[in-house]
Amino acid sequence: MDYFLTEEQQMIVDIASQVTDERIIPQRAELDENHTFPREILNEMAQADLFGIPIPEAYGGFGGGCMDIVLAVEQIGRGDVAVGTAFAANFLGSFPIMLSGSEEQKNKYLPEVASGRKFAAFGLTEANAGSDASGIQTTAVLDGDEWVINGTKQWITNGGEADIYSVVAITDRARGPRGASIFILEKGDPGFTFGPKEKKMGIRASSTTELIFKDCRIPKDRIVGRAGTGFITVMKTLDISRPGIASLAVGLAQGALDEAVPYAKQRRQFGKPIIAFQAVQHLLADMAIGIESSRALVYATARHIDAHPKNVSRVSAMCKTCATDMAMKVTTDAVQVMGGYGYMCDYPVEKMMRDAKILQIYEGSNQIQRNVIGQELNREYS
């Protein structure tokens, strides 16, 4: 379908697609098998100016919107969701600074992210706090001119590899979620360490670790916005980042279809290609329908966010849920079309199926997204 992309947007697609075809796809199996963080590939993406897409021009970026982000992320996801996750996490870690940071913070950190000289990460999830942000146990206490941070963040993408971390901590327990604040942590801050890399079912090339704070002291000016405004910034951050997860799902599903159709055309049974059998045709047709309908919703959501940055929670949740559920089904069906070969590690669809699962979980599980949608509908029709 023609989505009427601008010349600049088509350029983003072309650049991201070239990186994917030439650098990511040839290495994805090795990266997955060895759990290797794709630093060299990310550095090449930075040289292609992809890291600067959402960063305002005043801070060395492209000044693009949500639509520009999803176009790039979709192409990277087509090659490898692990690389796409590591790439997109930089935006997730940068958004709180872009949304609520001081001018000094923006000038200090955003050019580093835009250039790719430094990677970013977002620290929200804990053992007892993920979808329920009110369960956060990490604390920040003001001591003179320094904040003292204690606690542990869990399952943090780019953990240990990133240089800049936007971390959520409680500054006033009595105020509940309104007592949460966001702080900028730097790799190397005293008292800030990392747990070992987690062993995961999928996206194995993406680094996932704990962030551990033990009497970690940072300057007073590292708080993002005012104390107690962290929860609002977190919600705004996730609203504009979830279409990125949805676009990863669209790209992943497209990659699976790109593997399944050629296989079905060359694999022969009973004297003819299996694509000649209606049962296989219907599987492939449903895969294509799911991909294109999800792509249309993701693009529409991204354009809506760019045009109407307020009240986007429902559509953001819708596109994330729709696209990631679709990706799980499409990758499962791709394995089915390819049969025994699809189940083997020699073919990429088994990896795609493993990678798809996390998309339904991180940045808000799809069950939580349905809660958001349902609550919005309840308010709309009350």
Domain with residue 100: its CATH number is 1.10.540.10
Q: What pLDDT, on the 0 to 100 scale, is given for residue 154? A: 97
- Residue 2 belongs to a domain: no
Evaluate whether residue 376 is within a structural domain. yes
pLDDT at 308: 85
Question: So what's the pLDDT on residue 382?
Answer: 87
Q: What is the average pLDDT across 180-202? A: 98
Domain that holds residue 98: 7-119
281 and 256 share a domain? yes
For residues 360 and 236, state if they share a domain. yes
Tell me, what DSSP letter sits at residue 21? I
Q: How far apart are CA 15 and CA 9, in angstroms?
A: 10
Domain assignment present for residue 1? The answer is no
**Is residue 141 domain-shared with residue 280, that is, in the same domain?**
no
Domain assignment of residue 196, yes or no:
yes
Q: Cα–Cα distance between 198 and 192 in angstroms, integer?
A: 18
| Band of pLDDT at residue 131, cut at 50, 70 and 90 | confident
Q: Are residues 30 and 93 in the same domain?
A: yes
Identify whether 139 is part of a domain: yes
Question: Is residue 186 over pLDDT 80?
Answer: yes
* Per-residue model confidence (pLDDT) at position 346: 93
pLDDT at 319 over 80: yes
pTM of structure:
0.96
Q: Which of 244-253, 294-303, 306-315, 369-378 has the lowest mean pLDDT?
A: 306-315
Mean local confidence (pLDDT), 307-331: 95
Q: How far apart are CA 149 and CA 227, in angstroms?
A: 14
The gap from C-alpha 252 to its chain's centroid, in whole angstroms, comes to 13
Q: Does residue 288 share a domain with residue 173?
A: no
Q: How many domains does the chain have?
A: 3
Residue-by-residue DSSP string for 200-250: -SS-TTS-EEEEEEEEEEEEGGGEESSTT-HHHHHHHHHHHHHHHHHHHHH
Spatial CB neighbours of 120, under 8 Å, sequence gap ≥ 6: 89, 90, 91, 92, 93, 94, 109, 113, 158, 162, 163, 164, 165, 166
Q: Does 154 map to a domain?
A: yes
Q: Above pLDDT 70, what percent of the chain?
A: 100
The residue from 119, 135, 152 where one domain ends is 119
Catalytic positions, written as ranges: 363
Domain end among 93, 119, 145: 119
Q: Which of 101, 119, 137 corresponds to the end of one domain?
A: 119
Q: Please, are residues 185 and 217 in contact by the beta-carbon 8 Å criterion?
A: no
Residues 6+ apart with CB under 8 A from 135: 126, 128, 129
Residues 270 and 375 in one domain: yes
Structure tokens at 181: 């604040």
